A and B are shown apart, each in its own frame.
Chain A
Amino acid sequence: ETGVTQTPRHLVMGMTNKKSLKCEQHLGHNAMYWYKQSAKKPLELMFVYSLEERVENNSVPSRFSPECPNSSHLFLHLHTLQPEDSALYLCASSLRTDHGYTFGSGTRLTVV
């Protein structure tokens, strides 16, 4: 365990479903991130939260909705996804946004 816990580890959902991914860290970090990892592509940053405030949204479709209720928890709410959204979704945290990241193990999402 890295100190960043993601649940569930695997998720299969239909295009009309609504689901949420959860990320939790107790490292005392102040910044949290959502990344998307697809085969043969670099990790793509989706959202950045610093001190529970969203500081970056990288042109992510509105069918992905992040939530950061406190500095230890981060959610990614999913609705009406497309098959091309199937990927490994990684959560990460850092002490500050200019520090290295600690990653969770990811949620493998399959949209059918």
Chain B
Amino acid sequence: EDQVTQSPEALRLQEGESSSLNCSYTVSGLRGLFWYRQDPGKGPEFLFTLYSAGEEKEKERLKATLTKKESFLHITAPKPEDSATYLCAVKSGANSKLTFGKGITLSVRP
């Protein structure tokens, strides 16, 4: 069974203080690792898909990386508008579904 563990559960940063969010996973045949952002009262918004170890993708202040066991979402010089819950999900060869972690709630103080 696919498993996804995200840590920490919550993270508070000062504006401009860079940090990383972790997503550890166990799957049988990774077919994709997905990062989503979710704001309160809204559905998850797609950020990145990573398919193989060593792959990296960037979007503004966010950079996602992937190894065979985990993915990191690096946030460089965050701003208050980056405050949200960040969800990680995996898709394996055995499943047609995405398996999600519990998410990491990020708060960025001005």
Contacts and interface: CB of A to CB of B under 8 A. Distances in A.
Decide whether A and B assemble into one complex: yes
Given A42-B100, A48-B96, A98 B32 contact: yes
Contact of A42 (B4, B32, B49, B96): B4
Contacts of A58: 97
Contacts, number: 58
A33 B102 CA distance: 19
Interface string A22-55: 0000000000010000001111010010100001
Q: What bracket does the count of chain A residues touching chain B fall in? A: 20 to 34
A48 B97 contact: yes
B43 A105 contact: yes
Main secondary structure of the interface of B (DSSP, over half): strand
B31 A103 contact: no
B98 A45 contact: yes
**Which 4 A-B residue pairs are closest in the complex by CB-CB distance?**
A103-B43, A97-B96, A43-B100, A42-B100
Interface of B: 4, 31-32, 34, 36, 41-46, 49, 87, 89, 91, 96-103
Interface of A: 2, 4, 6, 33, 40-43, 45, 48, 50, 55-56, 58, 90, 92, 97-98, 100-106, 108
8 contacts: A4-B43, A6-B43, A33-B97, A43-B44, A43-B100, A98-B31, A98-B32, A105-B42
